[in-house]
Amino acid sequence: MDRGTDPLSRMPAVAPLLLADVLDRLPARLQRRLEERRDLARDWTWSAAAGEVVVSTGTAVVRVRPASGVVREPDQAACDCLLAPRCLHVAAVLLALPISVDDAGPAGRPPQPASEAADDQVPVSAAARAAAGAAWQACALLLDIGATSAGLVVQGELLRAAHACRLAGLHRTASAVARAVQRLAELHAGRPEYRLDFLLGDVSDALTSALAVATAGEAVSRSAVGVARRAYATVGSLRLAGIFSEAVMSAAGYAGVVTYLADAEGRLWTVADVAPGGPERVAWAYGAPIEVGDLALSHRGLGRSGVYLQRATGSRDGRLGTGRDVGAVRSGASGWDGGVPWERPPAAQLDAVFAALALDQTLRRSGWDLLFLDGVVVGVRQAALVLSTPVGEVSCYAPTDHEELPYRRNLRLLGSAPGLPLRVVGRALTQRPRSLALLAVGPGAAAEEAPALALPSDWLGRANLGVDVLQSAHVAGGERGPVELPVQPAAAAPDPLDPLARRLGQALTGGRVTQAESAWADIDRDAALLRRRQLPGAADRLEALRAASLRGVPDARRRFALAWTATRTYHVAARNRLSRTSWG
């Protein structure tokens, strides 16, 4: 099966510094034209052949020749028009490419060994402090004028800051700034994948990590610095049991399957086959052989098998190396009966999930947000399958809205059997109370006269909900349709922190002016509402943000950025605390 037929889904990434340089040298009149139509190149004809991407504009042809999937040098993007290389065509094409968030270029630092821990102290060099300061200033400028007003010049400053941070080894800040620029491109182009909460997270991550480095003494924690991705080290021999396989479809056009395996200590490891493509690539990856050392198994088989590895390699986040030097032997089938992940108490699992939220993404281990629970089906409430579990009722949602994947259909079928005992794996949705993105299910402890999950024998006691299609015959004793539950008033209650979240989003989108004197009466009402909800700390942060919006005072931009960062930090901590408390 084709791994994806859309040429745009196979686009290479562009290095931040190259994109910044190309935008800087573009003549002013062409910059204005590109500002007006950020997605200009999307209307041109794209094709891929012989290791290059060819873009035909109708009057010119741009050829992009990436190295290892990334365009880093000016001569890797060439146009045949008379204005090249300072032409609109090259700039528009590079602006349409995804930004490489992990690329330092040939001069970049080598990745750190996988043995470094999140609480390591990292020396802060003068170059790192200067790069962090530049990133802080660039993000403070973005906050001051607002995302909707952040044109190509501001984005160029952010891209240069990202490159400087990458060269200085500040991987967390560099990645966050590069992701923020990608979100800005989505916003200005009006793309449907744009999400304000993603931009909020990236900008606050960049500001927080940059400030930690810029104000540190001689050393700073590894979590503030981050690590380079895909740093593999030898981990020796591993005896692993396949747990489940997850279907992956990203807004960036990547698709495939990730399989999770557990070792004897309960640590999770992953093997992935994710590449550019659409829904058809998920099915292809699930059934196609993937090599783990000298062993070739499909993801369908790997997630249901025991595997013994010798000379195994792995990254700090739990990704297994699949090189030919690894010795691998299949050691029979793996089951969920007495599975190590389910032996850990739910409260301990939840504590670990919420503790990991404070870490940089590169320091979180694979499966850090997974919960392994036993429960009984109650029914369906709106879009959620409701389970009764040892930690109370849990709402289980489909991880993605893609209709091509069977998540939703499978959940509704399970919802037709109240009383059905299940053993489940789901991803904790930390921004929703008592919620999971349900990934896989298996039969729970049998109960007399209760419905039962009767899966095909070759599924070995589990259904991967994004790739395995459940049939009504698999749910013995179910009703003819999902059993709908009434909507609970508590579930429809507003987020108590909503006034704070709203103001943070307004400030980032529209800039400091949105919190200025004309909005103070509304801000005071929001602060009073937060106090009535017994959230005086949130009210204090909102009032501090208002005070920092004053115009005409010295260092106003820095004051506002500091207040916004502190308010966002409080909001994230309070939201996570409320979410954890909701689980009991």
pLDDT tens, position by position, 69-100? 899 999 999 999 999 989 999 999 999 898 88
pTM of the model: 0.84
Tokens representing 7?
A: 């040429």
Tell me which of 413 and 495 has the higher pLDDT.
Answer: 413
Query: According to the model, what pLDDT value does residue 1 have?
Result: 27
Tell me which of 3 and 333 has the higher pLDDT.
Answer: 333
* pLDDT > 60? residue 194: yes
**Average of per-residue pLDDT across 143-171:** 94
Query: According to the model, what pLDDT value does residue 522 have?
Result: 95
The 3-class secondary structure across 218-262, one letter per residue, is CEEEHHHHCCCCCCEEEEEEEEEEEEEEEEEECCCCEEEEEEEEE
Q: Provide the b/e sequence for 178-188 (b: ≥16 CB within 10 Å).
A: bbbbbbbbbbb
pLDDT band at 119 (very low <50, low <70, confident <90, very high): low
**Average of per-residue pLDDT across 133-148:** 96
Residue 63 to residue 77: CA distance in whole angstroms: 6
Determine the distance from the C-alpha atom of residue 428 to the mean position of all C-alpha atoms in its chain, rounded to a whole number.
13
Query: According to the model, what pLDDT value does residue 111 have?
Result: 40
* pLDDT > 70? residue 4: no
Query: According to the model, what pLDDT value does residue 210 have?
Result: 96
The neighbour count for residue 211, using CB atoms within 10 Å, is 21
pLDDT band at 490 (very low <50, low <70, confident <90, very high): low
pLDDT band at 558 (very low <50, low <70, confident <90, very high): very high
Tokens representing 289?
A: 């052989």
Query: According to the model, what pLDDT value does residue 362 have?
Result: 77
* pLDDT > 60? residue 226: yes
Query: According to the model, what pLDDT value does residue 9 have?
Result: 47
Residue 325 to residue 313: CA distance in whole angstroms: 9
DSSP assigned state of 484 = B
* pLDDT > 60? residue 3: no
Query: According to the model, what pLDDT value does residue 118 have?
Result: 52
Q: Best-predicted range by mean pLDDT among 9-18, 337-346, 353-362, 414-423?
A: 414-423
363: left (phi over 0), alpha (psi -120 to 50) or beta: alpha
* pLDDT > 60? residue 116: no
* pLDDT > 50? residue 2: no
* pLDDT > 80? residue 489: no
pLDDT band at 250 (very low <50, low <70, confident <90, very high): confident
Q: What is the mean pLDDT of the chain?
A: 89
Q: What percent of the chain has pLDDT over 70?
A: 93
Tell me which of 373 and 313 has the higher pLDDT.
Answer: 373
In degrees and rounded to multiples of 5, residue 148 shows phi and psi of -70, -20
Query: According to the model, what pLDDT value does residue 103 have?
Result: 56
454: left (phi over 0), alpha (psi -120 to 50) or beta: beta
pLDDT tens digits along 14-46:
999 999 999 999 999 999 999 888 889 988 999
Query: According to the model, what pLDDT value does residue 106 have?
Result: 42
The SS3 of residue 439 is strand
pLDDT band at 491 (very low <50, low <70, confident <90, very high): low
User: Do the Cβ atoms of 142 and 134 come closer than 8 Å?
Assistant: no
* pLDDT > 80? residue 11: no
Residues 6+ apart with CB under 8 A from 470: 406, 409, 410, 413, 414, 463
Q: What percent of the chain has pLDDT over 90?
A: 66
DSSP assigned state of 566 = H
Query: According to the model, what pLDDT value does residue 10 have?
Result: 56
